[in-house]
Amino acid sequence: MTGTKPVVIVTRKLPDVIETRMMELFDVRLNLDDEPFTAERMAAAMQEADVLVPTVTDRIDGKILAAAGDRLRLIASFGTGVDHIDLAAARARGITVTNTPGVLTEDTADMTMALILAVPRRLVAGERLMRTGQWRGWSPTSMLGNRIHGKRLGIIGMGRIGQAVARRARGFGLSIHYHNRRPVHAETEAELEATFWDNLDQMLSRMDIISINCPHTPATYHLISPRRLALIQPHAFIVNTSRGEVIDENALVRVLQNREIAGAGLDVFEHEPQVNPKLLGLDNVVLMPHMGSATIEGRIDMGQKVIINIRTFGDNHTPPDRVIETMY
C-alpha cells in the first residue's frame, strides 16, 4: 500500500471531520446516505477495497471473507467489539483486523450507570407519567422504586469498561463484586474494594444489580442462560451495555414477565435492530437503541483511531489496535 493512496471503503456515515480527513489521506469511498450495505454492495466492496472500514452493523463472516479480493489487506473496524467479524477466517486470508478500544470506555460506563439508576428509580416511567398528563401530584406511596445506595453490584467482565463502571458505582454507594476470567490486578481490586467471584453462579445469586460488561465471544454467548437467570434473586436488576447475545433474550423476557427478576436496562439486543416485541410491552425494562458510546467526542476519537490504524498499516508497521483472536 505504500506510495499510492489506498482505496478505503467506509460502510456507514462517520463524523464530518473524520470523513474530511479520510478524503485528504486516502482514496476513500464514503457512505454519505448511511444506508447499511446490502450483501451485493458488501461483496463489491470486498473486491475493490484495500481497506474496509465496517461497523457493528456489518456481518463480516467466513463466506464474505472467502470471497474477498486479493487486494483487501486490512479491516479497520469502527468500534471496539469485533464479534461481527470472523477473526479466524480473516487470519486465514491474511487480512489484518483492527478495532478502536479505549476511547469509548467512559461513555459506555456512563450509559451503564445511567441504566443502573434509571431502572430501579423508574426514571422512564416517571417521565412517561408527566408526558401523558397523568401526574396527580406528590404522594407518599406513588412512583416508589428501589434504593441504589448500599446495594451489591455484580459486574460480569472487569475490563476497561467494567472497571470504569465500578469507579462510578462506588460514588453511588454500591459495593463492587465481579466475575472475570481472572482477577484484576491487586492494586485495582484494592482501589475499587472489589470482590472477585470465581464462580459466576454464586455471584449471580447474591447480587442486587448485575451489569454485563464482557465482550461477546463463543465463550460468552448466552452466558446468562435460563439456568443462570433462575439463580438471580427476584428483587435484582440486570443491565446490559455489552452485546445482546450474552443474555438468552427469550429467557430474559420470560423471567421479566413472570417477575422472577425485578427489571432490566438494555442498550443492546440479541437480533439488532430487531427488538423482541415482548420486551416493548414490559413496564419493568428500560430500552435504549445501542447508544452506549454515542457521543460526538467518542465517535471522533473512534474515527481518529481508525485513521491511525490505516496509516500505520500502510507504513508497513503493526497497527496499534491490531486484534488477535487469542485476545478473545
The binding site for ligand 8YV (CB under 6 A) comprises 55-56, 78-81, 104, 292-293
Q: CB of 113: closest distance to ligand 8YV in angstroms?
A: 15
Task: For residue 304, give every residue at least 6 positions away whose Cβ sits within 8 Å of its Cβ, in sequence order, or none.
Answer: 18
For the chain, how far is it from start to end, CA to CA, in angstroms?
A: 29
Cell match 422512564: residue?
A: 124
Joined grid coordinates for residue 132: 401523558
Cell match 491490531: residue?
A: 322
State which residue, 90 or 148, has the beta carbon closest to ligand 8YV.
Answer: 90
Q: CB of 85: closest distance to ligand 8YV in angstroms?
A: 11
How far is Cα 150 from Cα 69, in angstroms, rounded to an integer? 56
State which residue, 83 or 208, has the beta carbon closest to ligand 8YV.
Answer: 83
State which residue, 56 or 164, has the beta carbon closest to ligand 8YV.
Answer: 56
Neighbour-count burial of 277, counting CB atoms closer than 10 A to its CB (0-12 exposed, 13-18 middle, 19+ buried): exposed
Q: CB of 79: closest distance to ligand 8YV in angstroms?
A: 3
Catalytic residue positions, numbered: 243, 272, 290
Q: What one-character-per-residue DSSP string does 249-297 give?
A: HHHHHHHHHTTSS-EEEES--TBTTB--HHHHT-TTEEE--S-TT--HH
State which residue, 122 or 217, has the beta carbon closest to ligand 8YV.
Answer: 217
Q: CB of 195: closest distance to ligand 8YV in angstroms?
A: 27
Tell me which residue has its CB nearest to ligand 8YV: 79
Cell match 433462575: residue?
A: 230
* Beta-strand relationship, 175-179 and 263-266: unpaired
State which residue, 78 or 269, has the beta carbon closest to ligand 8YV.
Answer: 78
How far is Cα 176 from Cα 49, in angstroms, rounded to an integer? 46
